[in-house]
Structure 1
Amino acid sequence: MDKAVVKDSVPVGFINTAVVVLGAAMGLLASLGLLETELGHLRDPDGALGCDLNSLISCGSSLMSPQAHLLTVPNSALGIAAFGALVAIGAVMLLGTRLSKPATMLLGLGSACGLVFVGYFLYQSATHFFALCPYCMVVWSATIIVSAVLIPAALTAFEGARAAGKTMLRYSWATIVCLHLVVFIVVLFTMTEQIGGLL
């Protein structure tokens, strides 16, 4: 590989790249499922929703809400585009292509924005919908997994943050576990009534 290309690229590693592909594939499948559910609801508004499992795990209250269409199109369509692109990029990386620093920074920024949206939708679920959409939770998990790799990778592109980025990349699994625990704790303490109704 050309030395100039190596110098201007960010090594992510095969395993971390595989984690990104796996996470993006999860998000893509969940987004497809959510979009299919919404289209089915539009065809048959009175039909039962397969994602309405109980009082806690349900998508009925959020499916057609403004929060689910932030840019006037279904959020699931945006998820399909974003996760689909990540699957494609990750597949190319698995074949040996190394992303340039600007591309890695862009992916890191996009992942950070994704985490912000996860926080926003978690807040909306706990305070407005009082239910958890199963497809959305898979998307949240996928976003956490992808972000735990791509944000540290983006940090390694900056001279002053390179060491921190490499350390975070090495322990991306810990970030994944911790962020999932945060989501679990938030749900546990903000949706006690819904959880209690299932017991």
Structure 2
Amino acid sequence: MSAQTIDTRPKILAIWLVIAGVIGWIAAFALTLEKFDKATGSTAPASCDFSVVVQCSANLDSAQGSVFGFPNPILGLTGWMAPIVVGMAVLAGARFARWFWLTFFAGVTFAFGFVIWLIIQSIFFLGTLCPWCMVTWLVTIPTFYAVAVQLLRSGVISSHPRVRAVGDSLAAWVPLMAFVSYAVVLLLAQLRLDAVPQLLDVIF
């Protein structure tokens, strides 16, 4: 394997990146529209406000909703384009250098860490579960695991055979890792907010 270019083209990961990117972008776009509506002075509840616990307004209006001085959904509108572009490029036959994958992984890791922070803020400080935010959580968490495992398998993290073997062994566990993460978030939300009955009311 070249020291500069990764030989493998992770097609399954590429497909997931496109799907996750589109879903995440749609969620960010929906939240951006809600934020724009509030900016006009509208007093009507947001379309994603279903109850005191399951709602978007509290999150959008909070300090946590504009961490970097602008609404978080704008970050999503730009950020989710990266996995879409990377996924489509891989499917088209592109091969990326190691530095590119490491840079991309740094962005994915930042997104994962930011989502974990937002989950904590939502459950323990705001006392709400924002539906569109949860969609973002839903795709960000497995994306982090999938990219991390792929970079281990392909030798981007380290070319040592044992490191790559760890990546190979973890590949089949990515869905389970995501499921366990969802279960932990749901358990925390239930213990803190009694959220499960309210989420079921929204779904059904």
Say yes or no: TM over 0.5. yes
Say which SS state the counterpart of residue 63 (structure 1) adopts: helix
Alignment of 1:141-152 (within 5 A): 141-152=138-149
Q: What does the per-residue CA deviation read over 1:132-187, in whole Å, with 9 as the maximum and x for residues that have no partner?
A: 01110011111112112112223331124322223323432222222222222221
Query: Counterpart in 2 of 1:124?
Result: 121
Q: Is 1:102 matched with 2:104?
A: no
Alignment of 1:1-199 (within 5 A): 4=2, 8-9=5-6, 11-155=8-152, 156-157=155-156, 158-160=158-160, 161-192=163-194, 195=196
CA distance in 1, matches of 2:182, 2:7: 27
Change (3 A) 1:149 1:113: same
Q: 1:22: how far off?
A: 0.8
CA RMSD of aligned residues (A): 2.2
Q: 1:55: how far off?
A: 2.2
* TM-score of the superposed pair, with normalisation by structure 2: 0.86
Query: Is 2:14–2:86's contact at 8 Å kept on the other side of the alignment?
Result: no
Aligned residue type for 2:178: I
Q: 1:29: how far off?
A: 0.6
Q: 17-26 or 168-177: which moved more?
A: 168-177
Query: Is 1:23–1:143's contact at 8 Å kept on the other side of the alignment?
Result: yes
Q: 1:8: how far off?
A: 1.9
Say which SS state the counterpart of residue 98 (structure 1) adopts: coil
Change (3 A) 1:96 1:127: same
CA distance in 2, matches of 1:103, 1:76: 25
Aligned residue type for 2:49: D
Q: What does the per-residue CA deviation read over 1:14-35, in whole Å, with 9 as the maximum and x for residues that have no partner?
A: 1221112111111111001101
Say which SS state the counterpart of residue 59 (structure 2) adopts: coil
Unmatched 5+ stretches in structure 2: none
Q: What does the per-residue CA deviation read over 1:80-103, in whole Å, with 9 as the maximum and x for residues that have no partner?
A: 111012111111111121222111
CA distance in 2, matches of 1:197, 1:27: 23
Change (3 A) 1:8 1:196: closer
Number of residues of Structure 1 aligned to a counterpart in Structure 2: 195
